[in-house]
Amino acid sequence: MTRRSIHRHVLAWLLIFGAAAVPAAADEPLVVTISKADCDRLVKHEPAPDVAYRPGVDVNGRPVAPADLDGGVQIAVPETIYIPIEVDLFDRFGIPANPDLFAADAQVGEVAYRDGRAYFNGQPLQDEASAELADRCQKIMRDNR
């Protein structure tokens, strides 16, 4: 588990169980405060419009010749990116490599990345509490620019 993943899980547990552990008065709403540093760890980076690449213009806004003088190749990026997760059986079980006998790769699953979230075999890799917290942080940070 990565450090970022651990931070997200700890934050989600604090929000869920920490809030339950501190009883609020019946007439007072429960308030959870999250620092900007915590939000920075959760949100997806969105560069400011003035730093985005603009073809045919240099950093000072002056016109320049494009790098792809013949027009280049345009690629349509898919909405969902699929990454197969495979195990090499030759390496895993110490079988001498002989590709004529059988294919050594066994697919155990597939990671799909869409809408800023990753899924393994259709199941989200981020729990709903963490995803909701990240979405709220993203909105707050965007509105405060």
Q: How far apart are CA 14 and CA 95, in angstroms?
A: 47
Q: What is the pTM of this model?
A: 0.48
Distance CA 27, CA 11 (A): 26
Cα–Cα distance between 46 and 56 in angstroms, integer?
A: 22
pLDDT range class, residue 12, cuts 50, 70, 90: low
Has residue 67 been placed in a domain?
A: no
Out of 3-12, 49-58, 83-92, 98-107, least confident range: 3-12
- pLDDT surpassing 60 at residue 15: no
Residue 111 lies in a domain: yes
| Residue 135 covered by a domain | yes
Q: What is the largest CA-CA distance in the chain?
A: 73
Nearest to 6 by CA among 41, 35, 43: 41
Instruction: Quote the strand ranges of 21-92, DSSP E.
Output: 81-88
Strands 81-88 and 105-114: antiparallel
Domain residue limits at 86: 3-49+76-143
How confident is the model at residue 19, as a pLDDT? 46
- Please give the tally of structural domains in the chain: 1
pLDDT band (50, 70, 90) for residue 20: very low
